[in-house]
Amino acid sequence: MFNNNAKILFFSQGEKEAFDLVAKARFIHPHLPPYLQLSENGNRGRMHFSFNDSEITALPSTEKAGKGTDTTIVVRDELFTHPYGAENFTAVGPTLDSGGQSIDLSTLESDDLKNHFRERVDKAFNGAMRVDYPSGLVLFKKGKYEPVLVFLGWKLRPTRLEGLELDDWVELRIKSKYTPYQIEKQYPATIEEVLKTSRERSYFDVKVTEDMRLHILDPLMEGHEVPIFDGIVKVYKPPVIGERYLIFTDPSDGVEDPFHTVVMHSKTYEGVCEASGMLTADKCALVHDTLVRKYNDAPNTYEANSYSGGKFSESIKNLKTPCQLSRRDIQTGKVIPDKLGWWTSGEKGGGGSKAIMLSGLEEAIRTRSIISHNRETINQFQSFIVPEGERPQKTRGSHDDAVMAWAGVWQIRKYLPQGTVTISSGTYTG
């Protein structure tokens, strides 16, 4: 608006996002004081000011976008998400070398250290002179020809919800909804929080578990002949005649932790049914037994260690649950005769079976092999961490019953013979 023939390029990860940037500029323009408003025309992807022949143009971030243009300012929005950020920077760079300006805007994820935007931020931050402003905005600058870094923490917005102080808003809307790991990523208060490598690394691939949310479904209102036990059982797909399923339960005593049962299709690895709740071991066993029978006498087992595991095992025996898998030495895969239920402990007594099971689940998630439709399951995946120098574990205040149930059902699938197998009752040894 104040320069003749100014050429402004707006880049975003895709065409729609780039058009949205132009829409923001077009919204702001008529809200300026009348003496600042210029006659403007254009389309969704372009604003043109005939008074000085200046323009704003939107482009998706591609390898060659902006190459060869006579650019005054380049604005790249949410640069962390641009698929060709580095290549685009190389393409547009020569047009800026004679005095143009590049403005990169983005949130930043601490996990991806090789991301183009992360590299740009590191370059501007390392060794820079820091200036703290009363507003809370922080500026890092090194010199005339070096990039300048501006950090805006989440607290710069003084009111997030009318009538609520920031601390109350955090308690009500943030801490109750997100894991500590997610809060650290999405609501950093300082630049140090953003740039540090998190000590509490998520054990499961963060990007994959976030993508898993695309598969979340509301359970069926009726279980299609599968009892739902007052909503404790969540049926996403009813049993199909001739299909084979696998079932694993992490039992509970109904006091501190909930139980969790996973019913997984043996070929697609989809969680067609999951059950969870605060039930005593005998009632957990009844849910487990019911699901085994309804899902075509599914091969099944459960976590046998601890007091709840013992009571669960006793109840399963009394219920004469069919198709139970024999216990195995998880390290060798060998059957342990006359033992049912799996021992899923740490190094002592369990031969490190828990670590092996969790490692298997980590690979299954990372390779996108499993599908869970259960929101709470995905929340548990995302709150399962590896503190520096320690073993994988749940975060304080969370649960890991869904994690262990999925780790168990994924492990037992390894010991099923391929092909069509018919099991009517009794003990299934694989």
User: Whose CA is closest to 297, among 269, 325, 330?
Assistant: 325
Distance CA 346, CA 370 (A): 24
Write down the pLDDT at residue 289: 97
Distance CA 159, CA 149 (A): 25
Give CATH for domain 7-156: 3.40.50.300
pLDDT-derived band at 420 (thresholds 50, 70, 90) equals very low
Distance CA 376, CA 260 (A): 11
> Average pLDDT in the 273-281 region?
95
Distance CA 195, CA 113 (A): 9
Write down the pLDDT at residue 163: 79
Distance CA 141, CA 143 (A): 6
> Average pLDDT in the 352-364 region?
91
Write down the pLDDT at residue 144: 55
Domain with CATH 3.30.420.240 in the chain: 206-428
- Name the phi and psi angles at 66, rounded to 5: 85, -5
Instruction: Say what percent of the chain tops pLDDT 90.
Output: 39
Distance CA 334, CA 321 (A): 23
Distance CA 136, CA 120 (A): 22
The pair of three-digit structure tokens given for residue 354, joined into one six-digit string:
């828990």
CA distances from 354 to 194, 284, 361, 389 (A): 32, 21, 11, 17
pLDDT-derived band at 279 (thresholds 50, 70, 90) equals very high
Enter the pTM of the model.
Answer: 0.57
- Name the phi and psi angles at 298, rounded to 5: -70, 135
Distance CA 50, CA 69 (A): 19
Multiple choice CATH, 206-428, 3.40.47.10, 3.30.420.240, 2.130.10.10, 1.10.1740.10? 3.30.420.240
Pair 377, 217: CB distance under 8 Å: no
Write down the pLDDT at residue 428: 46
The pair of three-digit structure tokens given for residue 104, joined into one six-digit string:
């990169």
Instruction: Please check the confidence at residue 430 and state whether its pLDDT lies above 80.
Output: no
Pick from 68-72, 180-184, 224-228, 260-264: least confident: 180-184
Instruction: Please check the confidence at residue 348 and state whether its pLDDT lies above 50.
Output: no
Instruction: Please check the confidence at residue 256 and state whether its pLDDT lies above 90.
Output: no
Domain with CATH 3.40.50.300 in the chain: 7-156
pLDDT-derived band at 221 (thresholds 50, 70, 90) equals confident
3-state secondary structure of 140: strand
Write down the pLDDT at residue 324: 94
Distance CA 105, CA 20 (A): 14
Tens-place pLDDT, residues 153-209: 888 887 888 778 888 888 888 887 777 667 777 788 888 777 764 445 789 998 899
Identify the top-confidence range among 37-46, 153-162, 393-402, 404-413: 404-413
